[in-house]
Amino acid sequence: MKKDVVKRMVLVSAVISVSALFIYATKTNVAQIAHVEYPTQMNFAEEEVPTYMADVEERLDREMVTNINYHTNTTLVIKRANKVFPIIEPILAKNGIPDDFKYLAVIESSLVNAVSPAGARGVWQFMPTTAKEKGMEVNDFVDERYDLEKSTEAACSYLKEAYAKFGSWTLAAASYNGGMGGVQKQLDAQKVGSYYDVLLNEETARYVYRILALKEIMRNPQKYGFEIPSHALYSEIPVKKIEVDSTVTDLADFALAQGINYKILKIHNPWLRDKSLPNKARKKYQIAIPTEGYSK
C-alpha cells in the first residue's frame, strides 16, 4: 500500500514538473516591477514633452505605470509590432508622417482589426463616413478599413490635413481622437495653442500620453520587464498578390484553386467581408495569397 502511494506521488510530481517546464518554455517572462525609472525628457515626433510641468509629469507617469503593468496587452502588442510595423513604417515615411505615429495605431487597436462600440474598425479605427471620405470602399462585401496598407494611407491623409491645420504633430495626434473641430474649439475657448496647455475630455487628455508610454516601453521592452525572445515575436508571412477584376462567386472555391482554404484567404484578406466578391464594375482588387507558413 505504501509503495503504491509513493509511486503515485512520484508520478504526480513528474507530471507537475513536465507541466511547469512546458508553461515556462512558452510563456513570456514579465518581471513584477513596481516602478522603473524612465527618461525625464521625451518627445513626440521631435516635439518636446514639457515634463517639467507637474500635471504633465503625473499624466505621463499614469500611462507608464498602467502599460508596464498591463502585461497581457503590452506583451501582445510587442509581439504583433514585429509583424505589423514593417508594413506601416514605409507608408508613414513615404507620406512624410513621423515614425512615432505607428504607436498611435498601437493605442487605437492594439494592432489588430478591432471593432469599437461606435462602429470604428480596423487597425486605424476609421468610422464608415470618414473611411469613404478618404477613398476607402466600405460595403457588405468589401471593407477596406481592414486593409492595413490602404487604411494606413488614409490615416496619413488625415494626419497631413491635421498638421496643416494645427502646425503641431502632437495636436494632430490628439485630433485623431478628439476630432479637428473638437480640439480647435477647446484651444480657442481656452485661448491656448498647445496640447499640454488645453483641458480636454478624459479620453483625448490621455491620448498622447498613452502613445508616449507605449513608444517608450516598446522601444525598450527589457528595461520595463518584457523579456520576449526574438523567436516568440510574430512574423510577417510572405504573400503574392493576385489581381481580380471580375466577380468571384464563391471565395471558398477561389481559395482552394489557389492552394489554400477559405480560412487562410480571410486571414490574409480581412477586407473581404462575405463569401463572394461581386464586381459588376470590374474594379481591380489585389488579393493576397500566402506563399509560406502553412506547410510542414
Is residue 26 very low, low, confident or very high in pLDDT (cuts 50, 70, 90)? very low
> What DSSP string describes 46-94?
TEEE-TTSHHHHHHHHHHHHHHHH-HHHHHHHHHHHHHHHHHHHHHHHH
* Residue labelled with grid coordinates 507541466: 19
Q: What cell does 59 get?
A: 499624466
- Per-residue pLDDT reduced to its tens digit, 31-69: 565 678 889 899 999 999 999 999 999 999 999 999 999
- Per-residue pLDDT reduced to its tens digit, 190-227: 999 999 999 999 999 999 999 999 999 999 999 999 99
Mean pLDDT, residues 159-171 taken together: 98
CB 210 within 8 A of CB 107: yes
Mean pLDDT, residues 102-130 taken together: 97
Q: Percentage of the chain with pLDDT > 70? A: 88
CB 213 within 8 A of CB 56: no
Q: Which amino acid belongs to residue 213?
A: A
CB 104 within 8 A of CB 211: yes
Is residue 30 very low, low, confident or very high in pLDDT (cuts 50, 70, 90)? low
Separation of alpha carbons 231 and 252, rounded Å: 32
C-alpha triplet 184, 64, 110: angle, nearest 5°: 70
Look at residue 28 in the predicted model and tell me its pLDDT. Answer: 55
Mean pLDDT, residues 246-274 taken together: 98
Look at residue 263 in the predicted model and tell me its pLDDT. Answer: 98
Look at residue 31 in the predicted model and tell me its pLDDT. Answer: 56
Report which of residues 23 and 19 the model is more confident about.
19
Look at residue 87 in the predicted model and tell me its pLDDT. Answer: 98
- Decide if pLDDT at 164 tops 90: yes
Residue (of 255, 100, 265) closest to 170 by Cα position: 100
Q: What cell does 10 get?
A: 512520484
Of the listed ranges 23-27, 108-112, 145-149, 286-290, the one predicted with least confidence: 23-27
Look at residue 40 in the predicted model and tell me its pLDDT. Answer: 85
- Decide if pLDDT at 14 tops 90: no
Q: What cell does 60 get?
A: 505621463
3-state SS class at 202: helix
- Decide if pLDDT at 230 tops 80: yes
How is residue 238 annotated by DSSP? P
What's the number of CA atoms in the CB half-sphere (13 Å) around residue 23? 6
- Per-residue pLDDT reduced to its tens digit, 234-255: 999 999 999 999 999 999 999 9
What are residue 147's phi and psi, to 5 degrees? -90, 110
Q: How far is CA 21 from CA 62, 176, 237, 285, in A?
A: 35, 45, 29, 47
Number of Cβ within a 10 Å radius of residue 9 = 10
- Decide if pLDDT at 4 tops 60: no
Whether this model's pTM surpasses 0.85:
yes
CB 193 within 8 A of CB 187: yes
Q: What cell does 124 get?
A: 486605424
Mean pLDDT, the chain, rounded, equals 91
**Helical H segments across 167-287, by residue range:** 169-178, 180-190, 202-219, 251-257, 262-268
Residue (of 123, 68, 69) closest to 91 by Cα position: 123
- Decide if pLDDT at 98 tops 90: yes
Beta bridge partners of 190: none
For residue 72, give every residue at least 6 positions away whose Cβ sits within 8 Å of its Cβ, in sequence order, or none. Answer: none
Mean pLDDT, residues 267-295 taken together: 96
Is residue 296 very low, low, confident or very high in pLDDT (cuts 50, 70, 90)? confident
- Decide if pLDDT at 7 tops 60: no
